């Protein structure tokens, strides 16, 4: 959100390449700005979720998702037509089979958990809102295919620009908040592209945020009989408070260390990604394969009036293969493999 604001102000335009990366360091050291943008983001998430499923979540996603996808496609087309498009295509799609080792495969599986919101309750919650006529197999395939397509489009939106300007294809915050803004500051029309890119990033984060907040809100509404307004405001505020140490971890709390000498933000990230998500996925697979009866499971899958001929295969994978593979991911994440 801060970088979207900087883009709207034209901050990157014409800046020297040595100045742009320092903007990120300045943001990390600015505690009031961190807290302000955190509060703004949580406020937007609470505002959407408090509207409920149809008036809040559904309406927001109907607006944000198409806009997000159009921006992404536009950036990808621009990237493919740029001089670095061929190099980016080779970088993304040329296979080096020597690097396809078990740790890499486990890492990819762990990434799939995060990307598809598995193990965190989001799919479970959204599934509970699905219409009785909805075909679960069709939706599952659609979500998986679209998730992969968006990931590939994102790569084709970012890396052609990186290669066009001779930059190194870094990862994480280094790519998004240092490398790309340098490029935006040097290229024609860079300000407009920066606005589109960071707007896309905000939408992507917001759609994820409302999904996760809805999980908590749905629990307190269904199980504790709280009103949606009460559940959303209380949980949103508590989550905001939990995020405050993360916002301050790079400056005010930089000398306070938690897991393995990491700051609070990195510790929470490690705890969620390496432990909670794989464990949540493992328990989900065990429950689905061993606790749910065949009659109940198959009945739910075929509620969309679609005969699921692959049910025996699916049940075998869920009952035996998935728990083993997820256990391998979990053991890899905690360093036992």
pLDDT per residue over 24-56, tens digit each?
A: 989 989 999 999 999 999 999 999 999 887 777
CA dihedral 160, 166, 171, 174 (to 10 degrees): -120
- Predicted local confidence at residue 320, as pLDDT: 95
> Please, are residues 79 and 85 in contact by the beta-carbon 8 Å criterion?
yes
Instruction: Tell me what the pLDDT averaged over the chain comes to.
Output: 86
| Alpha-carbon span 169 to 21, nearest angstrom | 15
What pLDDT, on the 0 to 100 scale, is given for residue 233?
A: 97
Tell me how far apart the alpha carbons of residues 251 and 267 are, in angstroms, rounded to a whole number: 16
Q: What is the DSSP letter of 50?
A: T
Confidence of residue 110 (pLDDT cuts 50, 70, 90): confident
Q: What is the pLDDT of residue 224?
A: 93
pLDDT at 225: 94
Per the CB < 8 A criterion, the answer to whether 31 and 254 are in contact is no
User: 10 Å Cβ neighbour count for 305?
Assistant: 8
Distance CA 14, CA 186 (A): 6
Q: Are 46 and 236 in contact (CB under 8 A)?
A: yes
Give the number of residues written for the chain: 337
Q: What is the Cα–Cα distance from 270 to 278, expressed in whole angstroms?
A: 12
The stretch 82-96 carries a mean pLDDT of 90
Residue 170 has a pLDDT of 67
Taking alpha carbons only, the member of 58, 70, 37 closest to residue 202 is 37
Taking Cα atoms as reference points, which of 167, 177, 180 lies closest to residue 25?
177
Does 119 have pLDDT greater than 80? Answer: no
Maximal CA-CA distance, the chain: 65
Residue 266 CA to residue 304 CA, distance in Å, equals 42
The DSSP code for 87 is: H
**pLDDT at position 102 over 90:** no
pLDDT at 238 > cutoff 80: yes
Angle at 318 between CA 316 and CA 321, to 5 degrees: 75
């Amino acid at each position: 959100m801060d970088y979207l604001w900087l883009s709207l102000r034209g901050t990157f335009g014409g800046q020297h390449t040595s100045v742009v990366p320092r903007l990120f360091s300045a943001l990390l050291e600015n505690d009031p700005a961190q807290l302000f943008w955190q509060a703004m983001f949580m406020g937007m998430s609470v505002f959407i979720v408090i509207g409920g499923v149809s008036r809040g979540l559904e309406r927001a996603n109907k607006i944000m998702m198409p806009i997000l996808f159009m921006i992404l496609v536009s950036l990808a087309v621009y990237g493919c037509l740029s001089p670095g498009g061929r190099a980016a295509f080779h970088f993304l799609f040329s296979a080096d089979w020597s690097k396809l080792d078990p740790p890499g495969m486990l890492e990819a599986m762990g990434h799939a958990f995060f990307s598809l919101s598995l193990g965190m309750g989001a799919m479970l919650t959204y599934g509970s809102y699905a219409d009785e006529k909805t075909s679960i197999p069709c939706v599952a395939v659609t979500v998986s295919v679209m998730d992969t397509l968006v990931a590939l489009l994102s790569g084709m939106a970012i890396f052609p620009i990186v290669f066009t300007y001779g930059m190194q294809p870094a990862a994480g915050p280094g790519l998004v908040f240092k490398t790309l803004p340098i490029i935006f500051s040097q290229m024609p029309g860079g300000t407009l592209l920066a606005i589109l890119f960071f707007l896309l990033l905000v939408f992507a984060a917001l759609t994820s945020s409302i999904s996760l907040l809805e999980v908590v809100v749905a629990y307190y509404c269904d199980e504790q009989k709280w009103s949606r307004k009460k559940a959303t405001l209380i949980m949103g505020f508590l989550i905001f408070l939990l995020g405050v140490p993360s916002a301050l971890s790079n400056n005010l709390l930089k000398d306070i260390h938690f897991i393995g000498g990491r700051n609070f933000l990195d510790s929470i990230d490690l705890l969620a990604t390496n432990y909670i998500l794989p464990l949540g996925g493992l328990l989900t697979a065990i429950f689905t394969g061993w606790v749910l009866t065949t009659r109940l499971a198959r009945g739910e899958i075929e509620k969309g009036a679609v005969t699921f001929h692959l049910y025996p295969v699916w049940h075998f994978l869920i009952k035996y293969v998935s728990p083993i593979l997820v256990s391998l991911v979990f053991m890899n994440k905690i360093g036992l493999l």
